[in-house]
Structure formats: C-alpha cells, structure tokens
C-alpha cells in the first residue's frame, strides 16, 4: 500500500493498543472521546450533506452512509463484548463480516439519522458503564478468535476511541470531496 493510499485508509494513523494498563487519567480522555463521538458524527454528517454521504471516502472504500451505519454496528458489538467480559470469564466473542454487514439492505434503506440516534443512546449507556468500572473490572478480558488474542477492557476502550475518530476523519474527508 502506498503512503497516499495508507493515508486515505488510515487518516489518523493505525490503531495502537496499549500493552500496559491505562491509568485512570488516560481512560478518562478516551471515555470523553467515546462520549463526544455521536455529536461529532451528527455535526460532520450535516456538514457533508446528503449527496456527498453517498460517495466513498476513498477509491474502493465505503460511502459516508455505510461508515455511519458501520459505526452503529461495530459499537453495538463492542458494548456487548464489554457486558460479556464483565459477566463471564474471558468469553470468546463472535466476529462478524463488517463488509457483508455494510452491504445489507438496511444500510441503504435506513436514513443515517437512525444510526446517529442509535449511537447517541448506545454511547450514553456505554459511557455510563465505563464510568462505573472498578480498577479490577478494567482488567477483565475477552478473546477475539479472528485476531487470536485476548483484549483487556482498557485496550478495547483505546481501540474503540480510535475507531470512532478514524471513521470521523473519513467522513470529514467527504466535506472537501469534489
């Protein structure tokens, strides 16, 4: 992949998972990013506009519409993974085919406001959960078979805070699209 292709695909860089436990201050910054994402997405979607949301953010990439619906799908999965990790001992989570999900008929048929509203409610609930986790709970894990590794909940927080900003940058790139 060339540097320009890499920049289009990963406009904020690739995700880097912390190996060491995150401090409460580090987690607070990431939780704030998760909390702010729905409002940022809504504002960015308005700035992009309906017609441009039908465009891919890069050649071969998803449309803005697909990105918004993907965020709802992905963040719902993460929320459920947290709940499993908090109630089971290192549960194995179920991977899913993100590309196939992005091509399901509801993605084209549903207004983006449905997923934006869903993300607002989901993130409200998720952030409430995150604010109430103990130090011990932050170290609980789940196993992701597609990546063949365990993830601590603080690592998942870092991943999904990045994930939201990653796709927000994709949407912002559509504002200047010709």
The pLDDT tens digits for 68-112 are 999 999 999 999 999 999 999 999 999 999 999 999 999 999 999
Domain annotation covers residue 18: no
Residue pair 16/140 in contact (Cβ under 8 Å)? The answer is no
pLDDT of residue 15: 95
As for how many domains the chain has, the answer is: 1
Domain at 140, CATH number: 1.20.120.450
Burial environment of residue 24 by CB neighbours within 10 A (0 to 12, 13 to 18, 19 or more)? exposed
72 found inside a domain: yes
Q: Give the range of the structural domain holding residue 122, as residue numbers without chain letter.
A: 3-8+23-175
Q: How many Cα atoms sit within 13 Å of 10 on the Cβ side?
A: 9
Considering the domain boundaries, does residue 13 fall inside one?
no
pLDDT at res. 178: 57
Average per-residue pLDDT for the chain? 96
Contacts of 119 (CB under 8 A, 6+ apart): 37, 38, 41, 71, 72, 75
pLDDT at residue 175 greater than cutoff 70? yes
pTM: 0.95
% of residues, the chain, pLDDT over 90: 93
Beta bridge partners of 151: 142
Q: Encode pLDDT of 121-164 as tens digits.
A: 999 999 999 999 999 999 999 999 999 999 999 999 999 999 99
Radius of gyration of the chain (CA): 16
- What are 15-25's pLDDT values in tens digits? 999 999 999 99
Residue 63 has pLDDT above 90, yes or no: yes
Q: Is residue 68 part of a domain?
A: yes
């Amino acid at each position: 992949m060339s540097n320009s292709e890499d920049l289009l695909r990963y406009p904020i860089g690739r995700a880097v998972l912390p190996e060491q436990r995150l401090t409460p201050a580090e987690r607070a910054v990431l939780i704030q990013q998760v909390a702010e994402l729905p409002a940022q997405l809504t504002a960015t979607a308005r700035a992009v506009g309906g017609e441009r949301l039908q465009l891919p953010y890069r050649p071969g990439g998803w449309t803005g519409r697909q990105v918004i619906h993907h965020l709802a799908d992905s963040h719902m999965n993460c929320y459920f993974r947290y709940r499993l990790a908090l109630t089971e001992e290192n549960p194995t989570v179920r991977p899913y085919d993100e590309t196939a999900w992005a091509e399901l008929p509801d993605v084209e048929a549903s207004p983006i406001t449905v997923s934006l509203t869903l993300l607002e409610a989901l993130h409200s609930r998720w952030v409430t959960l995150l604010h109430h986790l103990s130090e011990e709970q932050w170290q609980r894990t789940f196993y992701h078979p597609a990546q063949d590794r365990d993830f601590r909940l603080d690592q998942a927080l870092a991943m999904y805070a990045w994930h939201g900003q990653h796709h927000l940058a994709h949407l912002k790139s559509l504002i200047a699209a010709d």
